[in-house]
Structures are given as C-alpha cells and as structure tokens.
Chain A
Amino acid sequence: MELSADRILLMGNEAIARGALEGGAAYATGYPGNPSSEIVETMFGYQREHGIRVEWSANEIIALEAAAAFAFSGLRAIVTMKQNGMNVASDFLTTVSLNELKGGLVLVVCDDPGPMTSTNEQDSRHFAKIAQVPLLEPFTASEAKEMMRWLLVFSEQMGIPCILRSVSRLSHGRGAVKLGPVPSQEIKPSFDIEKPLVGLPFLVTPNHAHLLKKMKEVQTTFDKSPFNEYTGPNDANFIIMATGLGALYAREAVNMLHLEQQIGILKIGTIWPPPSHLIRAYLKQAKDVLFVEEIDPFLEDQVKVLYAEHASKLGAVSFYGKNTGDIYGPSGPGVGEMNTDIVLDALGRIFNKEISACASPYEDARKQASILLVPREVAFCDGCPHRASFLAIKAALELDGRKGFVVGDIGCYGLGAGPTGFNQIKALHCMGSGMGNACGFSQMASFGFNQPVVAVIGDSTFFHAGLPALINAAFNKADGLFIVLDNAVTAMTGFQVNPASPFTATGKATRPVLAEDIARSVGAKITVLDPIEDIQESIHAVYAALQEEGLRFLVFRRPCATFEKKTRAAEEILKARIDPESCIGEICGCNRFCSRVLACPSIQYDKDKDRAFINEDTCNGCGLCVQLCPRQAISLVNIQKEGRSA
C-alpha cells in the first residue's frame, strides 16, 4: 500500500484511536494494560485539538461506567483494557447492555495470546455472548480503524454497547491506514430523566427480550457486512474460516503451499452475533472447513452449532479445528499464539503436503536478527526500588524464621516471584489478589496456621483493586501485613499516572491520593519509608511489622528509577562507581555479592581483572550496592559535576 499524506503507517492501537476520533468519540478512558495501553495514550494527543476528554481511570469497571455516562447522555465514548480488565468491567457490561444507550459506546479489549505480559490466556470474545453485545475483530490496522469508526456509529444506532477485540500482534504491529474526516462535536449532552436506566429485577426480563430482538437485527446487518469477505475460487470445497489475524496467516499459508486454486478463505470480522446466513451459504459449498482464530475455538463452536441446526439442508462437512485437534502450536490446540507456521502445519497434514520445502522468506532474516539478541534475565531495572523492597522483605522473613511468605499481584513487582525479586512472591494471580489472599490466610489461625503472610501491591494496583481488600481486612479484623510498593507511576504499562500522581494524565494538578491516608482511616498501623535510602532500616521496618499483630500497612515509597531518569533535573546525575583498589574480587568472602546476589543489571564482574565494575551508562545511582559492599568499595559520584567521564 502506498503511503501518502492521508495514508500513513500506524500501530494497530494508534489506528484504533484514530478510528475513535473519526467515529466522533467525545471521551476515551481505560486502565493501562499491555497490549492495550497505546490507544488511550494516542487519544491524549487528540484531546486538545478535537476537544475530546481523555483520562486514565482507577480500574476498568470505573472506566466503563464513566464512559457509559457519556453514552447515556448522547455522546460517544470508548473504553480500553486488556483481557484481564474485561473480567473487571464485565459486571457492568452485562447489565448496561440491557438498557438503551443514546450515544455510541465501544469497549476495546486487547487479548494477549501466548501471553507476553499477562497472567492468563483469555479469549475475551466470550463476553460478547455473555452480555449479548456485538463484537468485531479486525485483521489489519486499517480495518481496526474502520471497525472502530463504524462501531461507534452502529452502537449509537442500535443503542447497545459494542466490543472491538484486538490481540497483541495486531495492536502492536504497524500497517498503512487511510485517514478519514473527523466529525465535529456538536451534540450537547443531556440525560433524559423521563427515561431512567434502571436494572430492577422486574425490568430485566422485558429488557432482555428486547436486547435479543435487537441482536437479531444486528445479525442481519452482519450478514451483509463488508467486514466479512470471501476470497478464492467460487467453487472451492475446502474453506478456511478465519477471524482477525488468522485471516492473514491463512492467506499466507495458502499462498506458500500454492493451494490458491483449491482453498477459499472466508474472513469473518463480525464475530458476535455470527453472520449465520453468510456462514450457512459457505457451509453449503464446503466439504471441508478449517478454522483459524486466536486462542479459543470461538467461531468454530458457533459454526458447528449453525451446522447442526441446518444439517438437513447442508451436505456432509468435515471440520478441522482446535476442538478436533487439527490445528495446534507447540503447546497444543487452543493455547499459545496463532501464526502462519501453525496453519501451514495443519494444511500440510490435511493435504498430505511436505511443508519444509516452502520455508518462509522471512526465516533467514529472522535467524540473522536473532544473533543480535543477547540473552537477558528478566530483571528489575537498574536502581529499581523494588529490588531493595524485596531484599528487605526477604531478609525480614528469613530473620523471622517462621516460614513466612509473600503473596502479590500484577505490576513490575510481580517479578518479585523470580530471581530478581529473590523469588519472594509465592502466589500471584490477578489485580489485588495478594491482599485478598492475605485476608484469608489471616483467618486460619484457629486452624493452626501460623506462617506470617506479607501481601505486596503496587500503588496503581492498590487503587485499582486493593482498596476493597484493605477495607475487608479492617472490617473482619484480619491480622495482616500489607506492603504498598509505591513508585508513583503505573510503570509496567508505560509510566501512566495513577491516583498517587500529583498530576492527571493531561498534566492538570490534582491532589495525590496517598495509600497510607486511606489505610490510616481504617485503623491500620502505618509505616512509610524509602526502601533504598537505608536498607538496614527497611529490613528492620519489615521485621518489626512482622512481630506485631493486627492490620499493618507499610509503604515503600520511592519513584520508579526508569521514570525518574526520564524526568529528573540534570544538575545531579548520580552514578555508582567501584574503586578497583578497594574491591578485592574473589578473595573477598562476599562471593560477588553485588553482581551475583543483588544482581542489578548495571553491576558486572570482570573475570579477567577479578573485580566488580559498574556500567555507568545504565546505572541509575540508587545507592543500594553502596550500602551493601563489605569493602566499602562502591561510592556514588555526581557525574554532572565532574563532567562526563569515560
């Protein structure tokens, strides 16, 4: 595709944001989470020029509820989240779909198949079926933009919230997108008090019936939707039914195997409700159907139901899918990310074709590029406050000696489950789960449970999902130690602001919400300190808290080192430096404590010189290693003062 002034290269998420703009969204919000975060971030760029309101919400259900208020009042709004957030938002989604919206409301959910940054591998399309709302799934950045734009209008027409489903590779891949016009905002929002939107039980049944009726209309629209497209011979009796990126993989695989004359591809973009007339037409033509889709056999199941319903009018069809075990990656059907190789393998098996012969043209390039990748341990950044926090927690638990352990949840600090966090987190599930688990652990004393439990939670996660657990703990007299690892930003998803930040996402000054203020108000015993400043004091603080009873709330507060580096003033740039005279190498009894145990990526050990040294380019000057070197060989220097040294 040629690029030009109105045809530009966009990341999938940027394309979705552009679609929201062209679809006339007045409000965009969400909760950051990979792979969805860039949508709202892109919208921030539009807000001034186009008068859109954009903000990060404390969690996904709040985001959806806030966006719904726009739709209740006649404006259009979008809400973004990752698949885990879908679960959080679903409570509201399944009730709001029963009401008639005045404005368009689109929920964008980005799934993370073969998760890079998630704690589950969830196919969010099921929620469309649960809530009975329309769901589209694009296959290119260009289509993502177009679907987003169209959905906002369509949602408004039908009065139903809609879902756009993306996946990591679509959200983060780039494609040419043709820009369209941006409508001007002219509607003055108002809420019609004559039409209350209440979900009282006696209204549910009629509303539900009404919704299902509307969904029939949606289906009629979807049957004719240009988002569904058939390519290939008109009489092909082997048909691949594909959704999202699956359609691209299918096309590529068919081309590579030179099966274009035998296989037709039905790309389906309108996932729920499935376009049943369209599908039935192709079921009639087909003798064999292969399904290519991300994560669950969602389309596959729907097609099979349709087939069963109409079997008498259809011929015999063989289905090849995940349920039948015909299409699978290295971890088996229905798990891991879909790709062209998996489709090739499946086709190879079905058509009895040797597939090694058609190696991808990209394979060589990939092999060459992979040489450039240095294997790296997943580790906290240089100077990360969490390294000190987990060291303090580990030290305190070891000293305490009662086989205490840490439960945690989602955030950078989730790495506390791995070597960089001294393998401290022993249970990690969803946002806020650690604090919730801790409530339960603390209620088992009467059964003889006597291990101390420490729940860690990030600042953003605390506001997202920790608050109810805190209040639950206070109310039920839980005997727990909660540690908030407050680094002042939502670091893992790209440094978004959160309620602990002094500024909103748009840079407006706001009153930061301090976790300890809330905890104090429910009667918790509070300790607040910088985890790195004096590591011995940090260890003592955790140890002391472990010896106490009741609800204990410790805040380890220090800004994210990587975020600080981006924003800090230039007059002081601290770097740690190791004096090669003072470091004595292997003969020191410390057994390379700084580079091996502390394992900050900036600290390395030079085997030839038998000395530890610090990579000043990456060091963030936190000073933790300075405190721990038994030879006092490490000191902090201000390189800004001394002039940049080699």
Chain B
Amino acid sequence: MCGMQNDLKRLREEVLGTDVCTACGTCVNLCPNIISIEDRIAVLADCQIASGNCYRYCPRTIPDPRIAEALCGDVGYGGPVGNYSNYLIARSRLSGKHSFFQYGGTVTALLVEAMRQGLIDYAVVTKAVGNFPHPAIVKNEEEIISAGGSKYALSPTNKEVNRACTAGSGKIGVVALPCQATGLRKKQLQPREDGVEKASVSLIIGLFCTWALSQAGWRALLNRHVGSRFVKAMDIPPPPANIMVIDVGGERKTIPLDEVGKHVRPGCKVCLDMTAENADISIGMVEGKAGWNTVITRTEQGASMLESAVGAGIIETGSLDQKAWDHLREASLNKKEQALKEAEARAKRLPYYERIIKLGKKIRDEDKNGTER
C-alpha cells in the first residue's frame, strides 16, 4: 500500500472501514475503483490521487471550510431542523393513475411536476426489486409513480446519480434520505473539475429519516417474518406504537421495534439529521393525520417547486399546527441527542465523531437556551 496519505486512504480509514458509512453511494461510480452491491461499498485498489471527489462528497467527511457555511445536518450547524423557509402539510392530488404512496404522495407529485415543468430531465428514485430497494434512473411519470412507497432498507441512491451525471446531459431530480441529500449537496457545491459530468442535480427532495436498516438485516427480518412472500408496503407508525408494520398482500405483519432496531445500519446511529437539512425540500409524515405529509421548504428551488405544483393543482397544502411542529423539532433534537451519545460511547477518534460531537453540543445548548430559528 502506498505510504503517502491520499483521499481514498482517508475515506477507507475514516468512513468505509468504520461504522459511520451510510451506503449513500456518493463515492460510488465516480471511478471504477469504488463499487457496491446492495448496501455494501468496497474499494478495489489503492489510489494515488491526493484529493479525491469520493472523499470531498462523502457526507461523513469534514467539508471544505469554503462550503461548510452552506451546509447543515451532519456537517454544519442549522438548529434542530436545519435552515428552512416554511413548514406546512401537503398531499398529492395526482389522479387517474392507480398508484401507491407512502403517506400523502407529495414526493411523487413534486417529482412529476418538476418533470412536467422541465426543471428536471430525469429522476433518481428507489424502486423495489423483489422485496429489496434498488436505486434507479427514471425518465417518465409512470416510472416515478411506480417507485412510490418507502423501503426501509438502505440502498446507495447516489451511485445512480453519479451514473446519470456522466451518462447523459440535463438536469436530475433526486429523492434522497438525509445522508444522501448531504452527499448530493456537497457534490453540487463542488462540481467535478474534469468536465466529465454533463448532467447535474437540480432538485433534491429529502425524506425524513430516523434510521434505516442494513440490507442483510432486512433480509434477516424477512426470513423470520415474511418468507418469500411479496411485501406490498411497510410503515413505522409513530410512537408509542413501537412496531414495524409489513403488509404482505393483505396480511398485516407486525415486528417489535426492539427487534427491528438490531438491524439498523451502524452508520445511522451516529446520524444527526432527521429532516434532510441539506435538501431543497424535506418531506415526512404528519403524526395523527394519515394521508398527509409534513413539508419543510428550505431553498428557493424547493419553495418554488412546491408553489408550482400547488398552482398546477397536483398538490394541495394546509398548515402544520404548532404542536406538531414543536413535536417534530423535539423528535429531531432527540435524534441528534442519541447520535451524540452514540458517538461519545464509540469513543473512536474519527473526524466525523469529533465534528458531530461539536455540532451536537452546540445544538443541544442552543435548544436549552430556547433559541428559535
């Protein structure tokens, strides 16, 4: 192995070889040297490039100070739910197509609208292949709609984004988990200098996320509870339910969260970001209001996308009541608190841990002081 320090070596030592990698896929498909199957990421050979995009884009590495300002979530400071412009509730009014959405279908509707408006030429979504998530580049509404519904295991979405960026030209919209959104934002803020990417990401729709399962873990749960039957839908109802619900063609299976929790990817347990703080617009559930989504608009792009969809009549909105908002902030802070504890407990001297401990403490203190942002 080459003795000199280089970014791939750093990525291996600080992220891949440790329990912080989230399998977001941002480092995959930038070159042939980092590969993935399911949610496993591996490096084929050493690399002598001192400063590499894999390391720069990874959500688990410390951002360049020049872009750090623009980032929240795991890598920057933005208060309990990050920087935002508005919060509300929404649901899709897409009609005609018989389809399945996780909650309100806002994600799907936004993507469809973005494509209709020509804001994006294609999208990267997560489809189910069998009972497993697979990231995919899609080019039309039907495909976007068919990707509806949450899959609670991780798959490296951003590797398909990287592929899309070099394979064609145009603009890409991505449905991203918070970690994936952070990777994408870092990439967007530091475009590749070699000019090989002809397409770029122009819309990041973030999903709320408390944790995700490793695919091996998901396979173990399936084997134990579902067998080879097809999973139609799955959900994690808000506390105090403490269960995961799996809909197996009409039959409802429940798995206690304690059991599910054993299969959470270790990288998720040190994640500060519940609300996709680096996305253009973030979307989750609304507690106690089935069929609706909580929406947080963050950037110009996100807000105007939502506006346009409302204008087009494919999304309807309402206001999120203060109690629910407070509760969301609380839940988000709670995730940060947990991550902080976990990072401290792991007591490894990784730059990522040092960074989130610093960030987490800041957020914790500010929250105690009751600062509202």
Contacts and interface: CB of A to CB of B under 8 A. Distances in A.
Interface in A39-94: none
Residue from A399, A401, A422, A631 whose CB has the most chain B CB atoms within 10 Å: A399
B350 interface: no
Nearest to B42: A398
A399 B44 CA distance: 9
A391 B43 CA distance: 12
Contacts of B193: 587
Contact of B40 (A400, A589, A631): A400
A399 B33 contact: no
A591 B194 contact: no
Contacts of A102: none
B45 interface: yes
B194 A630 contact: no
A422 B44 CA distance: 9
A432 to B, nearest CB: 29
B169 interface: no
A422 B33 CA distance: 13
Contacts of A399: 35-37, 40-42
B53 interface: yes
B30 A589 contact: yes
A543 interface: yes
A473 B29 CA distance: 39
A401 B37 contact: no
B370 interface: no
Contact of B37 (A540, A590, A591, A597): A540
Nearest to B7: A589
B14 to A, nearest CB: 17
- Categorize the interface residue count of chain A: 20 to 34
Interface in B170-220: 192-196
Contact of A597 (B41, B42, B45): B45
The B interface, classified by DSSP as helix, strand, loop or mixed, is loop
Contacts, number: 67
B42 A587 contact: no
Contacts of A591: 31, 33, 47-49
B334 interface: no
Nearest to B163: A630
Interface string A585-610: 00111110100110000000000000
B240 interface: no
A395 interface: yes
A625 to B, nearest CB: 10
A422 B192 CA distance: 29
B166 interface: yes
B266 interface: no
A469 interface: no
Interface in A342-401: 391, 394-396, 398-401
B31 A422 contact: no
A590 B32 CA distance: 7
Given A589-B49, A590-B31, A593-B31, A584 B42 contact: no
A590 B33 contact: yes
A8 interface: no
A630 B40 contact: no
B32 A391 contact: no
B32 A422 contact: no
A398 B37 contact: no
B52 interface: yes
Contact of A398 (B43, B47, B166, B195): B43
Interface string B38-79: 001111110111001110000000000000000000000000
B34 to A, nearest CB: 10
A631 B41 CA distance: 21
Nearest to B40: A399
Nearest to A582: B196
Interface string B153-169: 00000000000001000
Interface of A: 391, 394-396, 398-401, 422, 539-540, 543, 584, 587-591, 593, 596-597, 628-631
27 contacts: A395-B42, A398-B35, A398-B42, A398-B43, A398-B44, A399-B35, A399-B36, A399-B40, A422-B44, A422-B45, A543-B37, A584-B195, A589-B31, A589-B49, A589-B53, A589-B192, A591-B31, A591-B47, A593-B31, A593-B32, A597-B32, A597-B44, A597-B45, A630-B29, A630-B31, A630-B32, A631-B196
- CB-based closest 3 A-B pairs: A398-B42, A597-B45, A590-B31
Given A588-B31, A591-B31, A597-B33, 7 more contacts: A391-B44, A399-B37, A587-B193, A589-B30, A589-B54, A591-B48, A593-B45
